[in-house]
Amino acid sequence: MQSDPATTAPHRSPPKIATLILLSGLSALGMNIFLPSLPNMTEYYQTDYRLMQLSVALYLLVNAVMQILIGPLGDKAGRRPVILWGLSLFLLATLGCIFSPTAEIFLFFRMCQAVIAVGVVLSRAAVRDMYEQDQAASMIGYVTMGMAVVPMIGPALGGVLDEWFSWHANFWLLFGLGVITLALTYFDFGETAHKSGKTLAAQFKEYPELLKSPRFWGYSLACGFSSGSFFAYLGGAPFVGTVVYDMSPSELGFFFGAPAVGYFVGNFISGRFSTRIGVNHMVLWGCWLNAIGVVLSVIVMWAGYGSPLSFFGFMTFVGLGNGMSIPNATAGALSVRPHLAGTASGLSGAIMLAGGAGLSALAGALLGPETGAMPLLYLMVVTGLFGVVAISVVINQERQLGLQ
């Protein structure tokens, strides 16, 4: 371990893995638990579906901006205080979502909820503080494997809560879990980083050191394109399930979690084999599985056998590929400049989520009652293949530099 885990002093020992899982899981749950409720929220606010669908794209976009800020803040002030402040602000934003009288005010507080990015950014940075690259990839895999359980059940739970109560119940659940996470973080999350002591201006001046690294870009883009397929799915699948296949919120919630099943398995594979196989090959195989799964779905659609089972079932390959590529690409990006782990975590996450925001919005814009699911599938195929290209560039460069 690289950090200095002081023994028994309160708030000094490194966080337990359960705390890191909960921090990352709350970030994931906040992204997707309410998605089966989007059609009912559209009706509640008497607005257009495409406006309410922006609650995904705008959340991702602000999340990306937040990650650029959170990384340097975490390096300067430490992981612990930034996480505690972020969780507190998330609770206030969640109350704002619950009591919003209009769709526009809801979208504002929905964007504010993106401050929960502190959980995923700084939990990953904390892992990198404590472990070397390949072991960090393994540990990030285990953390996100546990995190995968949350989005696996989140949409299904959200759909049931919507039918039994209303869409507001989803946000009350987020509020309650946020309170629990804040308490657990306060008592368990000891500082893992040596504070840089630099001003924020000095921290931001270190961004060029990362941005000039082709390997950092390769890892970040591989992560961004691989996960881009999933973000496009987030933006388009609620429409496909509701309009194309006429599914109820609870049915959509049940099927919607299909990628998370694959993600759970992919993260287990990452946790088990990343140290042995190495991050680059894990990312490459993950990107290929991602793309192949969507291609199979396209072939079934072309053959005229498309159904909810085929559409959502093949999305498990997207989750499987992401579960292998994201932890390993993240560990690779954080290890290009280990002394900038927090900054690298924020910047690589921002690159991923900025692309995700655009792809989510594009998926919503491409779909209509007359299009079916095909525009979404084509978009996912293209982004998945770009992920293969990005990690292939990293592998070729490392061969030329003699790093493999």
CA dist list (Å): 67 to 126, 292, 334: 15, 30, 14
* Residue 15 DSSP label: P
**Max Cα-Cα span within the chain:** 64
Predicted local confidence at residue 320, as pLDDT: 92
What single string gives the DSSP state of each residue in 165-223? Answer: T-THHHHHHHHHHHHHHHHHHHHH----S------HHHHHTTHHHHHT-HHHHHHHHHH
Structural domain contains residue 11: no
Q: What is the mean pLDDT of residues 323-349?
A: 77
Confidence of residue 135 (pLDDT cuts 50, 70, 90): low
d(CA 155, CA 254): 7
Residue 155 has pLDDT above 70, yes or no: yes
What mean pLDDT is predicted for residues 48-60?
80
Phi/psi-derived region of residue 197, left when phi > 0, alpha when psi is between -120 and 50, beta in every other case: left
pLDDT band at 4 (very low <50, low <70, confident <90, very high): very low
Q: What is the arithmetic mean of pLDDT over 315-340?
A: 83
* CA nearest to 129, candidates 185, 71, 181, 87: 71
Is 83 a domain residue?
A: yes
Q: Does residue 9 fall inside a structural domain?
A: no
* Residue-by-residue DSSP string for 277-292: H-HHHHHHHHHHHHHH
Rounded Cα gap, residues 69 and 82, in angstroms: 11
Average pLDDT of span 1-29: 63
Please give the single-letter amino acid code of residue 276. Answer: R
pLDDT at 161 over 70: yes
Please give the full DSSP string across 294-363, using - where no structure is assigned: HHHHHHHHHTT---HHHHHHTHHHHHHHHHHHHHHHHHHHHHHSGGGHHHHHHHHHHHHHHHHHHHHHHH
Confirm whether 242 is domain-assigned: yes
Residue length, the chain? 404
pLDDT at 2 over 60: no
In a domain, 203, yes or no: yes
CA distance 358 to 364: 10
Question: 189 φ, ψ to 5°?
Answer: -80, 95
Q: Which domain holds residue 201?
A: 17-401
Residue 171 lies in a domain: yes
Q: 235, 259, 386, 248: which is closest to 311 by C-alpha?
A: 259
Residue 56 has pLDDT above 90, yes or no: no
pLDDT band at 404 (very low <50, low <70, confident <90, very high): low
> What is the C-alpha separation between 399 and 404, in angstroms, rounded?
6
pLDDT given at position 315: 92
Q: How far apart are CA 320 and CA 313, in angstroms?
A: 12
Q: Is residue 8 situated within a structural domain?
A: no
Is 317 a domain residue?
Answer: yes
Note the pLDDT of residue 302. 92
Say which residues have a Cβ less than 8 Å from residue 210's Cβ, sequence separation at least 6: 216, 336, 337, 340, 343, 344, 347
Q: Which domain CATH number covers 72? A: 1.20.1250.20
pLDDT, one tens digit per residue, over 176-209 is: 999 999 998 888 777 766 665 666 677 677 777 7
The two tokens of residue 298 are: 């396209």
For residue 274, report the phi and psi dihedrals to the nearest 5 degrees. -60, -40
The tally of domains found in the chain comes to 1
Q: If you average pLDDT over every residue of the chain, what do you get?
A: 81
Q: How many CA atoms lie within 13 A of 117 on its CB side?
A: 29
Q: Is the pLDDT of residue 366 over 50?
A: yes
Residue-wise pLDDT tens digits, 80-99: 888 899 999 999 999 999 99
> What pTM, to 2 d.p., does this model score?
0.69
- The mean pLDDT value for 13-37 works out to 79
